[in-house]
Chains A and B, each alone.
Chain A
């Protein structure tokens, strides 16, 4: 069975830490768009990995 150790680590780590995303709702010191910014970074990372995969497969 494949065990993508780093991916599993990141997925479970992200899953366990994800409640931090909810903190900003009632806290005016945190910008309301913070969860979206974090999400955007994650998408950018995935996009980069996808481009890298495409290059690897050429």
Chain B
């Protein structure tokens, strides 16, 4: 072994050790997560596209096709420039359904495990030449650097190290993050960029003497060589561009890094300009390197390795080697990881489905690791057996044309829901057959290009890759379209096509599941994948959806099923996952009507809102407006589907019921918390609504609810019922109070009538007593007659007060202006209040001074005072004190009722004067007294002040009435109104 070989091996191993250290640092958290998860790191990781082809193959293509080499970079740049319409929709599908590879995507869209297997086999066969290129560049670079005959063995050593690296950092337990791998790929992209820019700088400033010297060389000594460089035909260039465009989308390792490594949409959109910029910087040095090598060498035996001939400096060669090793290692790691996943999910697990075993995860992990090693070894074997006999361009074009056969299927998947499995499979097989016949088999067996049909349509000197590409893609596309148009598409495919199409909003159906609770999922799933894996998968899905194992809502269970299927898809591929879920977590097919899952569709629309544009955005805005109208409607509203699944539960109903919408939406009516199943069930069954004032108890209080129902029917309707829930509790109470008040009013009218009738016999008794006085001189009889007259006067006074009070409520007309003495009114009110039997142990005192006369209506003011005294007495404890006082102040009179009772309840203080405000038990108070007092005092142009407790008192209430004083130039003060 030569010293040079040892040096190169040490250089390569040292570089890989550096990568290993980088991965370990990220894994152990020595590098901050803010760095490793930065969008730019993900974007740089996408630089894995720049494989060894970008370092060596591009120089070879530049030598053979001039600026045609740019197709490799511009094709991929075009793919990412179209990220919003091409990559983001694919990312949406792959993230939603946990699809990690192109085979997963095809198997999901075309509802066929064989579609996934077919794509996997094509990927394997097509990617082998690309894998061979990576090994070949390593081997050739070592040979160019050392001249050693052991370069192939050295390449095998590097392949082994790369395989170990891929196993350690790539094939990891399924649920662990891939930060180390992404960071390593980003680091490698930086190394590639740095070394290529350094090599470009060497070419420009070390080999040439700057840009002007280069231009002079191009116009002078270099011109013949450049003019001798064959140029690609325009059609060939476009075909090449299309191939590289497809390869950036289809190559397994690029699909994996773009869609399976958890890149966010934002990162992907950032990559739409950042990756083309990276590729631009990578492409820039390529012609410089080629021209520099041409300027110092008359003849370059292998154009691909011109970089080793442009300078004799060892460090320039070392830079070129490191660039190649970085590119090859990154590509090999990602290809091996992507292909191992595809082979595992679409060949191994399809041939041998997983059993209910305790170590399912470990089994899958070791299987994958073995496949990773197998893929890398097969790359080395391909190089040894085939690759070393071909140039890089030949190998690369074979690979790119092969993977491009999936492009028609991919575009149909996104943009043509009418494409079906038969069309895709037949088109793909026909295209691949042309490719195998025209490129792959001649490559393997080193044969000349065999005859192909329609080749006379293209120029005779056209390269075989060009002819094969056109013929294979044309066959593929025509068969895909024709067969899809003339054959039926299955229901499953149709729904998958809807899910995959660019403008799709997934419309899942509301089907009931056999499993009744989330906990049942583990039991059912354990039959397929074992207890441990089943529990882990269910827990993981529950955790992601923030649900509990007790969850029973059909909506939540459907989401749980979807999540488990998506997670299993990431583990075993969509075909196996779908089989397991369909078999062990089946839907129940009963006679219940099947409709769209509107709540799910709405949640999807919410998630996609920022991506809507134009008319769709306007319509979405309208939808949100209508939804908010219902959500914030100040009346309780709920919506049920035809299957009695709750679709909407608005805010007012949440407040009324104390149940949040999130916790019940998606439930069946009969699984709602009591008393709603009975209440809403009755409405749903009722043929005529509304159901008035249904008595229910909610959170310990009695409520009366009126329920209205409308059936949602019509041409575009999805069916169901909308129910309005009105809280009529207060109205019911008001109605009861009104009935009570009306009863009291009737009694009052009756009492007034009785008082009036009593008046006549009392007058008769008084007259007879008067006559008795005239008819006798007996002192005893005279005293008796006096007493009878005094008593009848007292009865008359009481009756007059009663009648006056009864008439006091009916007032209409100008403001009252009679003189009213407050002390007299107070006395009348006390008379009336004493008639009541309650509160006899409360002392009522009239402390009004004489001479305070206000302008007003005596009867109505009496009514006010009676109400105030009644309230004050009721508020007092036994032996309580109620005092009436009055005085003058600033041209007005104040008239106050003070008590030492319990004071006013703070809950009613703010609406004390509103009708029906009372704290007394039902039937004992009407709640109208203070309202009436307020109204009467307002009519007297006065005001009421309430202090509870009064100033300087610890308890009690003082209600002060302010009334205008009577001007002395009018009538005499009120003494005794006699209206009876």
Please give the residue numbers on chain A whose beta carbons come within 8 Å of chain B beta carbons, in ascending order.
1-2, 4, 7, 11, 15-16, 18-19, 21-26, 28, 31-33, 35-36, 39-40, 42-43, 46-47, 50, 53, 57
Q: A11-B82, A26-B66, A43-B280 are in contact. List 17 more A-B contacts (CB 8 A).
A: A1-B416, A1-B417, A1-B501, A22-B68, A22-B232, A22-B237, A24-B67, A25-B226, A26-B227, A32-B214, A42-B81, A43-B77, A43-B276, A46-B272, A46-B273, A53-B84, A57-B610
Q: Point out the residue from A26, A35, A39 that lies within 8 Å of B276, measured CB to CB.
A: A39
Using Cβ atoms and an 8 Å threshold, which residues of chain B touch A35?
A: 67, 70
Using Cβ atoms and an 8 Å threshold, which residues of chain B touch A46?
A: 81, 272-273, 276
B389 within 8 A of A: no
Q: How far is the CA of A15 from the CA of B417 in the complex (A)?
A: 26
B269 within 8 A of A: yes
Q: Point out the residue from A1, A50, A57 that lies within 8 Å of B503, measured CB to CB.
A: A1
Q: Are B238 and A16 in contact (CB under 8 A)?
A: yes
A58 to chain B, nearest CB (A): 9
Q: Point out the residue from B66, B273, B287 that lies within 8 Å of A47, measured CB to CB.
A: B273
The 8 closest A-B pairs by CB, nearest first: A25-B66, A19-B234, A28-B219, A46-B273, A22-B67, A47-B273, A57-B610, A26-B227
Using Cβ atoms and an 8 Å threshold, which residues of chain A touch B74?
A: 18, 21, 39
Closest to A4 in B: B85
How many residues belonging to B are interface residues under a CB distance threshold of 8 Å? 42
18 residue pairs from A and B, CB less than 8 Å apart: A15-B78, A18-B74, A21-B67, A22-B68, A22-B70, A26-B223, A26-B226, A32-B287, A33-B284, A36-B283, A39-B74, A39-B77, A40-B280, A46-B273, A46-B276, A50-B270, A53-B269, A57-B610
Closest to A25 in B: B66
Q: Which of B73-88 contact A (CB under 8 A)?
A: 74, 77-78, 81-82, 84-85
Q: Are B229 and A25 in contact (CB under 8 A)?
A: yes
Q: Are B284 and A26 in contact (CB under 8 A)?
A: no
B415 within 8 A of A: yes
Closest to B616 in A: A2
Q: Point out the residue from A19, A28, A36, A50 that lies within 8 Å of B284, measured CB to CB.
A: A36
Chain A residues touching B, majority SS: helix
Q: How far is the CA of A39 from the CA of B277 in the complex (A)?
A: 9
Q: Are B66 and A28 in contact (CB under 8 A)?
A: no
Given contacts A1-B503, A16-B238, contact A32 B280 (CB under 8 A): no
Given contacts A2-B503, A36-B284, A46-B81, contact A18 B229 (CB under 8 A): no
Q: Which of B480-522 contact A (CB under 8 A)?
A: 501-503
Residue-wise, chain B 239-281 has the 8 Å CB interface mask toward A (1 for contact) of 0010000000000000000000000000001101100110010
Q: Are A26 and B503 in contact (CB under 8 A)?
A: no
Q: Are A2 and B229 in contact (CB under 8 A)?
A: no
B892 within 8 A of A: no
Q: How far is the CA of A1 from the CA of B501 in the complex (A)?
A: 8
Q: How far is the CA of A28 from the CA of B219 in the complex (A)?
A: 5
Using Cβ atoms and an 8 Å threshold, which residues of chain A touch B68?
A: 22
Q: How far is the CA of A2 from the CA of B614 in the complex (A)?
A: 12
Q: Point out the residue from A19, A32, A43 that lies within 8 Å of B273, measured CB to CB.
A: A43
B104 to chain A, nearest CB (A): 23
Using Cβ atoms and an 8 Å threshold, which residues of chain A touch B417?
A: 1
Given contacts A1-B502, A25-B66, A46-B81, contact A32 B276 (CB under 8 A): no
A28 to chain B, nearest CB (A): 4
Using Cβ atoms and an 8 Å threshold, which residues of chain A touch B67?
A: 21-25, 35
Using Cβ atoms and an 8 Å threshold, which residues of chain A touch B502?
A: 1-2
B393 within 8 A of A: no
A9 to chain B, nearest CB (A): 13
Using Cβ atoms and an 8 Å threshold, which residues of chain B touch A33?
A: 284
B231 within 8 A of A: yes
Using Cβ atoms and an 8 Å threshold, which residues of chain A touch B610?
A: 57
Closest to B82 in A: A11
Q: Are A19 and B238 in contact (CB under 8 A)?
A: yes
B215 within 8 A of A: yes
Q: Are A28 and B238 in contact (CB under 8 A)?
A: no
B218 within 8 A of A: yes
Using Cβ atoms and an 8 Å threshold, which residues of chain B touch A42?
A: 77, 81, 276
The winner among A26, A36, A42, A47 for most chain B CB atoms within 10 A is A26
Q: Are A36 and B238 in contact (CB under 8 A)?
A: no
Closest to B236 in A: A19
Q: Point out the residue from B226, B227, B237 that lies within 8 Å of A18, measured CB to CB.
A: B237
